[in-house]
Structure 1
Amino acid sequence: MHLWSRELWRIAWLGTLGVVLGWLFGAPGFGLALGLAACLFHHLRQLRALYQWLTLEPSEEPPAAKGLWGDLLDRLYRYQKSQRITQGRLRAMLARIQESSEAMRDSVVMLDRHGDLEWWNSAATEMLGLKTAHDRGQHITNLLRDPGFVRYFASREYREPLTLTSPIDERRILQYQITLYGDDERLLMARDITRLHRLEQMRQDFVANVSHELRTPLTVLSGYLETYGDLSDQLPPRLGRGILQMQSQTRRMENLVNDLLLLSRLEIDQGGKDHQSLSLAPLLDSICQDARALSAQQHKTPQRIELDLEGDLRLMGSEQELRSAISNLVFNAVRYAPAGSHIILRCGVLPTGEGYVEVQDNGHGIDPIHIPRLTERFYRVDKGRSTATGGTGLGLAIVKHVLLRHDARLVIDSLPEQGARFRCVFPATRLHPT
């Protein structure tokens, strides 16, 4: 501010000097104009020096100047110097990021807000076939044309990864994950999971084959035990009790094998072939009747099992798979809720337009710490109680896979001693008007 005041005083002084000199020669106006012209010439000269410095030699020190122009040139020089330091740091950081990305075995692809390619590492060239010179600026779906990837990219729902074969090598299995960042830009990562996929395939084949091979000896064993059971009154008491226990464990083993086979089929088979529009009312009524029979068999005081239908909901799906999933939820409530408790099987439409089928009970409930793991195979909240009730530990895993094949999700709400609610939520696209 001090320099600016001095500059104003300098202009006023030059103007006054011009007026005085002009008055001596009888032309004060001409003298004022001459003084202002001298001031303008000085500023134009400094402006020209500034322009040349900024355009021709911005990295050199600024030209020498005094007063306001000297201070301005010094400030600009310091600002440029700090900017060069900042840009150098950013370039070094970007170089380190690119070097680290190049060192990664996973593909890393940067996309702009339109989905066009901006940068990728060498792993992306190897896995996805991207070429630096030709593909830069191309839209990602012009190069990765698999319909599954195109739908995944357009959906903007990137919570779960996508698994597909490599576009340049069908023997390689890739897992894609997209992350949104910045101004609607995307970071695409692809990981080679061929080895994990083969191990998972081996596991599925092993479980399916072992389960299938166990069915025949179990059937033979069950047949003989049933024959011996019919003759239990002719056997010694200790042997009769042993036959009954063997029958119980054989039935439990058969249930486990059947669940393993069903789970393997759900994992391997893509599904959708037997999907049709079906009415849930008769299906749920049939499941309720089976649940009442199971309750009467397992509890001295049967539970009160109620069916609550909010209209006749029609759903596009597989009747066999939906029966298996909903039955597992209802039968679990029968097994684990205490005698005399109240179980409700309910279905309807949510305010969001989604359909739902839920099982609610007023039993012991579940600690929320267990809820995230309930759909894992063989996970048990209470191992002793599950074994006693005949559960296989695969019921909720089957429910999860059935719902995935129907584009649905499982929502579990429960607290200790406050009962539990298992809700299957189906998208509106699966519902059919009645």
Structure 2
Amino acid sequence: MKPIWQTEFTRVSYIIVIAAFVGWWSGSIAWPIIFVLAYYLVQAARFMLALDNWLDKNPNDPTPESKGIRGYLFDKIYHHQKRQQASQQRLKDVIDKVQRSSGALRDAVVMIDQSGGLEWWNKASESLLGFRSPSDKGQVITNLLRDPRFISYYERQAYQEPLSLTSPVDDNITLEYQITIFGRNERLMLVRDITRLHRLEQMRKDFVANVSHELRTPLTVINGYLETFADYSDQLPPRWSRATQQMQQQSRRMQNIINDLLLLSRLETTDIEGQQQTIDIEKMMTSIRQDALLLSSEKKHLIKIENNCTAAILGSENELRSAFSNLVFNAVKYTPSESTILMRWQETPIGATLTVEDNGEGIDARHLPRLTERFYRVDKGRSADTGGTGLGLAIVKHVLLRHNAKLEIKSIKGEGSQFHCHFPLARLKFQQADYIQPPAYTAPELADLATQTSDQLR
């Protein structure tokens, strides 16, 4: 107990003892004690009234004159308020500094409350998005940015990937939207101008497409003459015959690279919506297996199919066949003879997955993040032997992205590799006639499966 409280307790005790003694001496103990307690209550009431008046007027004013415990409480409240005000001022200074620094950014920064209304935005938001202060404050964001693609992106709440759209103010400006959820379903939206990057990317795509297209004509002429030389190889000197064969081999390789570059260019620049159809995955896997067995030839790979899913895929059959063939043919090319290659189509809690698995040499973990880059090779020296272009996995990645799917690669050096193509429910069409009930999971098992699959998709 603090000294001030001890002092007050002692003083009250003395008063009560003296009142009791006076009452004993006068022959009536109750009245003096009642008088003392009434006096003490009146003093407490006066203190409460003074405290109320002080708080009502201005607590920053000096505290009312008071002694003892009352003065101690006044000082205690006063110092506590001072500390609170200092803390609030520090927070206000931090908020002001953040707002000033955000206001100086060239990128738009927008704070959206839990109901979707605009809470705060910086200066760049006015030039990039057309917001006006203070009239737009509190307006719902989807009432101001009415592009259906933005509304779908905002309401879907799947913000792992940014969204690119033209500016609502100027069609010549391309913006990238990135939204983050924080607090109680509040959102922070960052918008940056990517017009220059967009133009450079478009220039790259146009350059690759145009150059690849222009190379086809001279390459066709070269191939024609090489085939003519090959027809008369018995009349050519042996040294020329060998050179002709090597030129034909490299010419075919160049033709394959050009074809793959043109395919990538088409995947990047065309829309899939006009190519939608229902695809029988089992039939496609059977066809790919037959082609892979022909490619395997003397290597005698064991190629198996497992189908644990009745769903078909909605999409482009040519594109998906190209993607799945790339995965299977890579397994045939890069695994030792008599290896086992498995194609598996199975349901998952959030969709379905097509897996291509082999028990070959495997890939070192440091290469996995870069496997889908164009022309990236784990072994720089084996391209001539396999005839690959270095574009296969890049094509697989782009095809899956066009089908709202994701590619996941797992591999352990010396134990083999797994390539998982994860498709969402929106891309699947289940056969009602012979629908097989998926496995029954308990609630904890289903939660674990969903968590594992979600982690994989990230």
TM-score by length of 1: 0.94
May I ask how many residue pairs the two structures share in their alignment?
430
Structure 2 equivalent of residue 169 of structure 1: 170
Task: Please give the per-residue CA displacement for 1:374-397, whole angstroms capped at 9, x wherever unaligned.
Answer: 111111111111332111111111
Q: Between 263-272 and 380-389, report the one with greater CA deviation.
A: 380-389
Q: Between 12-21 and 122-131, report the one with greater CA deviation.
A: 12-21
Provide structure 2 residue ranges, at least 5 long, that are not aligned to the other structure.
432-458
Contact map agreement 1:412 1:420 (CA 8 A) in 2: yes
Are 2:49 and 1:52 aligned? no
Matched letter for residue 416 of structure 1: K
Are 2:407 and 1:405 aligned? no
CA distance in 2, matches of 1:268, 1:8: 86
CA distance in 2, matches of 1:357, 1:29: 94
Contact map agreement 1:23 1:31 (CA 8 A) in 2: no
Contact map agreement 1:281 1:312 (CA 8 A) in 2: no
Superposed, which structure 2 residues align to 1:57-76 within 5 Å? 57-76=58-77
The secondary structure found in structure 2 opposite 1:133 is coil
Are 2:353 and 1:379 aligned? no
Q: 1:10 to 1:403 in 2, by over 3 A?
A: same
Task: Please give the per-residue CA displacement for 1:99-149, whole angstroms capped at 9, x wherever unaligned.
Answer: 110111100011222222111100011111111211111221121121211
CA distance in 2, matches of 1:338, 1:246: 28
Superposed, which structure 2 residues align to 1:87-236 within 5 Å? 87-236=88-237
CA distance in 2, matches of 1:43, 1:312: 82
Contact map agreement 1:158 1:178 (CA 8 A) in 2: yes
The secondary structure found in structure 2 opposite 1:179 is strand
Task: Please give the per-residue CA displacement for 1:7-33, whole angstroms capped at 9, x wherever unaligned.
Answer: 344444445555666677776544433
Are 2:36 and 1:42 aligned? no
CA distance in 2, matches of 1:64, 1:58: 14
The secondary structure found in structure 1 opposite 2:304 is strand
Are 2:300 and 1:302 aligned? yes
Deviation (angstroms), 1:188: 0.5
Q: Between 178-187 and 264-273, report the one with greater CA deviation.
A: 178-187
CA distance in 2, matches of 1:75, 1:235: 108
Deviation (angstroms), 1:317: 1.1
Structure 2 equivalent of residue 331 of structure 1: 329
Deviation (angstroms), 1:71: 1.7
CA distance in 2, matches of 1:311, 1:175: 38
CA distance in 2, matches of 1:169, 1:232: 64
Q: Between 365-374 and 109-118, report the one with greater CA deviation.
A: 109-118
Q: 1:97 to 1:65 in 2, by over 3 A?
A: same
The secondary structure found in structure 1 opposite 2:135 is helix
Deviation (angstroms), 1:424: 0.7
Deviation (angstroms), 1:184: 2.5
CA distance in 1, matches of 2:414, 2:29: 103
Matched letter for residue 150 of structure 1: I
Contact map agreement 1:313 1:347 (CA 8 A) in 2: no
TM-score by length of 2: 0.89
Quick one: which of 380, 388, 391 aligns to 1:391? Answer: 388
Structure 2 equivalent of residue 369 of structure 1: 366
The secondary structure found in structure 1 opposite 2:372 is coil
The secondary structure found in structure 1 opposite 2:299 is coil
Deviation (angstroms), 1:4: 2.8
CA distance in 2, matches of 1:118, 1:365: 52
Structure 1 equivalent of residue 240 of structure 2: 239
User: In percent, how many aligned pairs have the same letter?
Assistant: 52
CA distance in 1, matches of 2:77, 2:283: 81
CA distance in 1, matches of 2:229, 2:307: 45
CA distance in 2, matches of 1:370, 1:154: 36
Deviation (angstroms), 1:35: 2.1
Provide structure 1 residue ranges, at least 5 long, that are not aligned to the other structure.
none
Q: 1:313 to 1:48 in 2, by over 3 A?
A: closer
Task: Please give the per-residue CA displacement for 1:154-199, whole angstroms capped at 9, x wherever unaligned.
Answer: 2222111111111221111110111122233211100000110011
Structure 1 equivalent of residue 286 of structure 2: 285
